[in-house]
Amino acid sequence: MQAAYMARAGKRVCVLERRELLGGFKFSRASYLLSLLRPIVIEDLKLKEHGLRYHIRNPSSFTPIRDSKQKLLLGLDMNDNCKEIAKFSRRDAQVFPKYEDFIGLTARSLEPLMDDVPFNAHEKKWKMLMNRWRQRKVYQSGKAKNLSPDNTRLSYPVAVMNKWFESEVLKATLATDGIIGFAASPYDMGTGYVLLHHLMGGLDNRRGAWGYVIGGMGEVSKAIASSARSHGAEIFTEQEVVTILTDCGHVKGVRLTSGREVYANTVLSNATPTVTFENLVSKVEMSHLDSRSLPEEFAEHHKV
């Protein structure tokens, strides 16, 4: 994705991939739904023009009840959802639309931060203040009123569900958004954000909607690669990087397993930080790195 954006900005870009193909497996039991890829990215890179296609997920959840013929089926239609919920609790069916409005409004108040530039402690003070002021306006907007200090129940999903609903079936179904992809319990503090995070996505202007990518999740990477190539990026597969070439703390390129060296003023690594700093950068060059640009604990652990 970064390669596509840099090529779009007119930079000369070379992508080196260790494997014989780009992106993920055609069918994955882990990452199998699309929603959190930001709409602005899909639009900027024109991913639909480059082959991205998907089906909106509907129904969104199916909860069978053990030792019972009953089940809870939720989807995109609010009336149908309320009828399903009423099988377990008429009260919950009445408040469910209000809950959806509340949780959606809360998630929307955080969405602008998803597209904002990450905090950088080394940026110029005036720019830092400008960014912080813009974020402050988001929190103070009318949409952000749901984030007031008295909403401490947003700290973990179980508290949120207990506040709104009485049916254990409905609470269990909705709370799953607070633990998906996160090794924690819905009783753990902080998982309330995970619940909101999974509601920040959307497809085709449908907030919170998820989709099945036609062809598998690897097609997302293919569309991004196609976009990058359309702007001049060069992508090479089966090219494994073994060393990041540096000179007194300044990067100058990479060396491949074949021994070939590719020179560049900037190198972006998609490997983990541990692999990047421990395997790809020599210990001698590590000593030349500016530790201020790295998290303190990370720099200390890797002796930067």
The answer on 184 and 94 residing in a single domain is yes
In angstroms, rounded to a whole number, what is the distance separating the alpha carbons of residues 15 and 238? 11
Alpha helices in 141-270 (DSSP H): 157-164, 168-175, 191-197, 218-230
The answer on 66 and 147 residing in a single domain is yes
The answer on 130 and 68 residing in a single domain is yes
Instruction: Could you list the beta-strand ranges (E) of 91-209.
Output: 202-203, 206-207
Q: Lowest-pLDDT range, 83-87, 119-123, 246-250, 295-299?
A: 119-123
- Cα distances from 188 to residues 131, 144, 145, 172, 180, in angstroms, run 31, 24, 24, 15, 13
pLDDT at 146 over 70: no
Q: Which residues of 186-196 are buried (b: 16+ CB within 10 A; e: fewer)?
A: bebeebbebbb
User: pLDDT tens-digit profile of 19-59?
Assistant: 888 865 555 556 678 888 988 999 999 999 999 999 999 99
Q: Is residue 220, in this structure, part of any structural domain at all? A: no
User: pLDDT tens-digit profile of 66-89?
Assistant: 888 899 999 999 999 999 999 999
Amino acid found at 234: E
Q: Is residue 68, in this structure, part of any structural domain at all? A: yes
In angstroms, rounded to a whole number, what is the distance separating the alpha carbons of residues 283 and 270? 20
Look at phi and psi of residue 167 and say left if phi exceeds 0, alpha if psi is from -120 to 50, else beta.
beta
Task: Give me the pLDDT at residue 4, please.
Answer: 95
Cβ burial, residue 248 (10 Å; 0-12/13-18/19+): exposed
Q: Is residue 117, in this structure, part of any structural domain at all? A: yes
Q: Is residue 84, in this structure, part of any structural domain at all? A: yes
Compute how many other C-beta atoms are within 10 angstroms of the C-beta atom of residue 271: 13
The answer on 85 and 157 residing in a single domain is yes
Share of the chain above pLDDT 90, in %: 47
pLDDT band at 65 (very low <50, low <70, confident <90, very high): very high
Q: Which two tokens stand for residue 120?
A: 């950088």
pLDDT at 151 over 70: no
In angstroms, rounded to a whole number, what is the distance separating the alpha carbons of residues 104 and 241? 44
Q: Is residue 225, in this structure, part of any structural domain at all? A: no
Task: Give me the pLDDT at residue 72, please.
Answer: 98
- The whole-number average pLDDT for the span 137-161 is 62
What three-state secondary structure class fits 234?
Answer: strand
Beta bridge partners of 161: none
The count of domains in the chain is 2
Q: Is residue 154, in this structure, part of any structural domain at all? A: yes
Where among 209, 226, 250 does a domain terminate? 209
- The whole-number average pLDDT for the span 283-292 is 73
- Cα distances from 264 to residues 228, 261, 275, 289, in angstroms, run 18, 10, 20, 18
Whether the CB-CB separation of 236 and 14 falls below 8 Å is answered with: yes
Task: Give me the pLDDT at residue 67, please.
Answer: 84
The answer on 201 and 78 residing in a single domain is yes
The answer on 85 and 136 residing in a single domain is yes
In angstroms, rounded to a whole number, what is the distance separating the alpha carbons of residues 143 and 140? 8
- Cα distances from 63 to residues 165, 166, 176, in angstroms, run 16, 16, 11
pLDDT at 152 over 60: no
The answer on 192 and 68 residing in a single domain is yes
In angstroms, rounded to a whole number, what is the distance separating the alpha carbons of residues 160 and 186? 10
Q: Lowest-pLDDT range, 82-96, 226-240, 265-279, 290-304?
A: 290-304
In angstroms, rounded to a whole number, what is the distance separating the alpha carbons of residues 171 and 157? 9
Structural domain of residue 255, as residue ranges?
240-301
- Cα distances from 245 to residues 33, 239, 254, in angstroms, run 37, 16, 5
pLDDT band at 132 (very low <50, low <70, confident <90, very high): low
The answer on 254 and 188 residing in a single domain is no
User: pLDDT tens-digit profile of 229-244?
Assistant: 999 999 999 999 999 9
The answer on 93 and 185 residing in a single domain is yes
Amino acid found at 27: F
Whether the CB-CB separation of 303 and 288 falls below 8 Å is answered with: no
Q: Which two tokens stand for residue 28?
A: 């994955």
Q: Which two tokens stand for residue 225?
A: 């690669």
The answer on 195 and 74 residing in a single domain is yes
Q: Lowest-pLDDT range, 5-19, 20-34, 177-191?
A: 20-34
The answer on 158 and 79 residing in a single domain is yes
The answer on 265 and 129 residing in a single domain is no
